[in-house]
Structure 1
Amino acid sequence: MQLDFKGRVAIVTGAGGGLGRAHALALAARGARVLVNDLGGGVHGEGGSVSAAQAVVQEIHAAGGEALSNGASVTDFDAVQAMVQQAIDAWGRVDVLVNNAGILRDKSFAKMDLQDFRTVLDVHLMGAVHCCKAVWPHMTAQEYGRIVMTTSSTGLYGNFGQSNYGAAKLALVGLMQTLALEGAKHHIHVNALAPTAATRMTEGLMPEEILAMLQPEAVVPAMLVLAHETAPTRTTLCAGAGSFEAAHVTMTQGIFVGTGPDAPEQLAARLAEVTARAGDTVPGSGAAQGALEVQKAMAARS
């Protein structure tokens, strides 16, 4: 089965270069009409010009595709709403949203200015929130939507010097989890992509030989799977260098120790049992944690 996007309308943020550009080109090549959004700033969020987005639009046009450019900052909700309206006015609907826009302001936590922490959260997390909020009524009205969050291995597993970036990226997984539940009845599927790719944001962080293997195009197949009408929902795919994996937030079976005065000591003594991975599950929702805990408490009473 070929992943076809004919008749679909997609918005890709941060699509003036790197991963976003690769996403936009791939969606357009498979038939989607694409709104290419990019503030046109630097990797740290400075400056701005619509020229980067327009260049990608010209590439799409040259290949016979249909696209529009947009220079909105995802941190500006009014501008984001106008961006979504631009797509609606031109094409009548929005089927796919790829939240890809991001910046880096790396420093160790001890040396990091709090404004740099807030700014990274504002772009990655609130930027995605703004875009999701703007497309949500359109997707619910048409009873269809596909949203892809761009998370990161830094958010999932940590990375030295990126506390702000990691916090924002894991927050996007939490946003995905709940939006997928709330969107299910409207056939809105929400997923996350954790890419490893050589872009402006990773230059200088890896040897050239490794960077050559990590082309943005190698991540695109995972985005297409998560954005397609056959997409799963509440799935986090990792992708890089042609390899693909899935990341899960799991819960172990745990133990019951009760609420007696020695509960802290019992827990400390048996912590290895609590953290043991055998039989761990991927809960269907947050309520599953409470259900498991009450179940164990009830079983201990009988």
Structure 2
Amino acid sequence: MYRFLLTPRWWVINAFAVLAIPFCLFMGTWQLGRFETRVDSHREQQNHADEARTAPAVPLKDLLPVTTETSGRKARVTGHYDAGRQLLVPDRELDGRNGFYVLTPLRTDDGKALPVVRGWLPGDAGAKADTTGIPAPPTGRVTVDGALQSSESPTSKGVGVSGGLPAGQVGVISAASLVNLVPYGVHDAWITATDAPRPLTVVPPAAPPNSGLDLKAFQNLGYTGEWFIFVGFVLFMWFRLFRREVEAFRDAELGITPDPGPGTDGPDAAPQKRSPAGAA
């Protein structure tokens, strides 16, 4: 009865099923592993953030370059604020309100500048009424503590407008976007100051890129379900084809032939009844 499994057609069907099922299981397991990794990184990031709030500040040079482990750590840097090149970062939300960051380059002893977000203000960065209350940065040599952050990109979470901004504004906080606005080198990092003068509000540090329970994490979980569904679909289709072949074999043993369907011409087809000539 099952001799049909050795036909070339079923060799192809069986080979496809044998290869497709392990492949789908592997891809589903891999996507599940990616989701679990992101869950673990989210948990580690929360623990890391809690530790960073109470940990003492570390010199900036000891934390560069920024990694997922150093992101959010409290860095300490000494230098002079370049008040003449202070910039505003528009379209930044905080506690559900739209506003802007106040970013001031801090010239360090190595000659480079570190972008320092001194705080956040509600309102429009292009409106004079909303920007008149920005406090001036301290003069002279200062030491600033802040949460270390990696450079942003136009696709980073929280970034609003990334281009086409007027003078005095920048959309993305990164060395690549600032190097054309200042006449000196810029560190590939920035900090958000832990203390902000009134009326500025301290900007909380953000999680490092590709970590935490973001949209990509839940995409991995969705892909996991899809790959396991594919496994069930392959098994269902194989069993359906197998059952149809078995039923056809049993019908043939009982002398039951499949109905050729209407309009089929053959020796066993019933003759069609014709109307007499001239009938209305």
TM normalised by structure 1 equals: 0.24
Write 1 or 2 for the structure with the bigger share of helix. 1
More strand by share: 2
* TM norm structure 2: 0.25
Higher relative contact order (CA 8 A, sep 6+): 2
**Higher Rg:** 2
